[in-house]
A and B are shown apart, each in its own frame.
Chain A
Amino acid sequence: MHKKTTAFPIIHATLASLLMAVAMPVLAHEDIINTLPGDGATLQNSPEKIGVEFDGVMRITQFEVTGPDGSVRLDNQSGSELSERYFVKPEEALSSGDYQVNWRGLSDDGHMMSDGFTFSIEP
């Protein structure tokens, strides 16, 4: 009698935790389908637009570009409405050097997301 009962909590608990682990979401959320400029791209001139495009809607809440002169001032930064793409224009032409783009946002399914990409401008 006791043989079975005392073992149940342990075995069931472990099974349960195993299944909890398996049932957790695995697929990524909205995937990036394109960045502008492409991740790691080397450009001849300052880009017209900088941005990111997703295969689903996303609410971008922060979008920052930093380069050799620090944070880049951006034009027409839109609000944080749900959108499949988010593009900004640098206020002034970018000088040569390496640039890092970082963004944060809230995906349609309520997950907070962050990512970034880099590009360079040749001297």
Chain B
Amino acid sequence: MAMILAAAGFYLSALVASGAVLFRLAFPLLPDRERRRVARMGVLAAWVGIILVLLQWPLQAGYLGGGNVAAATDPVLLNIVFESSPGTRLILSVTGLLLVQAIQLNGLALSKGLSLAGMLLVMLAFTQVGHTVNAPRAVLGGLLILHLIAAAFWVASLWPLFRLVGRHHDRAYTGRILTRFGQIAKGGVGLLVLAGVALATLITGGLTPLLTTAYGQLLIGKVLIVGALMLFAAANKWRLVPAFERGEATAPRRLQHSIALEMVLVAIILLITAILTTATSPNG
């Protein structure tokens, strides 16, 4: 259980920290105060990510040794984890999450370069463990990185957008931010679709494993839950948007609720992802 929570927390914080870098690049004209808040969110997420990925190390050793405290501190098991791909992932993600924090250095070209390099290292860390290490590794890893970049941007945008909508900025200003987010998200979704479909096709080799393995069935269940939420979101659109257009007093609050729902959705998805990726038994 601790392992699953640590994994889910790591996914979330790594995505938020990396996504904060992208968010700042995408919205260079954010007011100073909002920009600093995004940077703070990124830095906080980076530190949480570092702590969680370091915590995963003894947790993994403990699991491998039979799930006890003695195994978690066993130097041999700790060494096995460190020398295998989880160790590479650890080094890459800690380095990346430290570099991401350059996001705080305001306006410097160096800050952009360092934080972007950090983001790429974090993304690279994700390709170290799992099916993307299989051939064709460069293709799978590249697709996963593109996929994660789009996902990180989206995940990290939720909180800043939530705040923007909730604050009493003028509607035209919030509208401009949302328009820009919409434009970028359109491209982002395209990237997610292409990378996601290509990855799924290359990794699963088709629909059969989805239907025949317990793992696949769980995935389908998850997709169905998300599909139901999508219907909800579509219904929301028809209720929310006209209200927003009319400038109804409750509209921002309702939009906030929608974004909050997305955050809950992210949490559920990451938790299920962690359950699926933390410990597996062979043969599905």
Q: Which residues of A contact B150 (CB under 8 A)?
A: 16
Q: Does B136 contact A (CB under 8 A)?
A: no
Decide: B80 and A13 in contact? CB cutoff 8 A. no
The total of chain A residues at the interface (CB under 8 A) is 49
With A and B bound together, what is the CA distance between A63 and B151 in angstroms? 39
Q: Does A61 contact B (CB under 8 A)?
A: yes
Decide: A2 and B131 in contact? CB cutoff 8 A. no
Q: Which residues of A contact B196 (CB under 8 A)?
A: 19-20, 22-23
Q: Which residues of B contact A16 (CB under 8 A)?
A: 150-151, 154, 188-189, 192
Cross-interface CB contact of A18 among B64, B175, B223, B259, cutoff 8 Å? B223
Contacting chain B: which of A25-33, A83-91, A93-101? A25-33
Decide: A27 and B203 in contact? CB cutoff 8 A. yes
Contact with A along B120-162 (1 / 0, CB 8 A): 0000000011110110000000001001001100100110010
Q: Which residues of B contact A23 (CB under 8 A)?
A: 144, 147, 195-197, 199-200, 203
Q: Which residues of A contact B133 (CB under 8 A)?
A: 108-110
Decide: A61 and B157 in contact? CB cutoff 8 A. no
Q: Does B269 contact A (CB under 8 A)?
A: yes
With A and B bound together, what is the CA distance between A80 and B282 in angstroms? 18
Q: Does A121 contact B (CB under 8 A)?
A: no
Given contacts A6-B244, A104-B64, contact A111 B129 (CB under 8 A): yes
Given contacts A10-B262, A23-B195, A61-B65, contact A112 B278 (CB under 8 A): yes
Decide: B279 and A113 in contact? CB cutoff 8 A. yes
Please classify the interface of chain A as helix (H, G, I), strand (E, B), loop, or mixed, using the class held by over half of its residues.
mixed
Q: Does B54 contact A (CB under 8 A)?
A: no
Decide: A32 and B178 in contact? CB cutoff 8 A. no
Cross-interface CB contact of B130 among A25, A28, A31, A59, cutoff 8 Å? A25
Decide: B215 and A110 in contact? CB cutoff 8 A. no
Contacting chain A: which of B29-37, B83-91, B97-105, B111-119? B83-91
The total of chain B residues at the interface (CB under 8 A) is 86
**Chain B CB within 10 A, most for which of A26, A54, A104:** A26
With A and B bound together, what is the CA distance between A29 and B171 in angstroms? 51
Contact with B along A1-45 (1 / 0, CB 8 A): 111111111111111111111111111111110000000000000
Closest chain B residue to A116 by CB distance?
A: B281
What are 24 A-B contacts with C-beta separation under 8 Å?
A: A2-B175, A2-B245, A5-B178, A5-B181, A6-B237, A6-B255, A12-B182, A12-B188, A14-B262, A14-B265, A16-B150, A20-B273, A22-B219, A25-B131, A27-B204, A31-B282, A61-B64, A104-B63, A104-B66, A110-B85, A112-B60, A113-B280, A114-B63, A114-B279
Partner-A contacts on B (CB < 8 A): 60, 63-66, 76-77, 80-81, 84-86, 89, 128-131, 133-134, 144, 147, 150-151, 154, 157-158, 161, 171, 175, 178-179, 181-182, 185-186, 188-189, 192-193, 195-197, 199-200, 203-205, 209-210, 213, 215-216, 219, 222-223, 226-227, 229-230, 233-234, 236-237, 240-242, 244-245, 255, 258-259, 262, 265-266, 269, 272-273, 276-284
Partner-B contacts on A (CB < 8 A): 1-32, 54, 59, 61-62, 64, 80, 104-106, 108-115
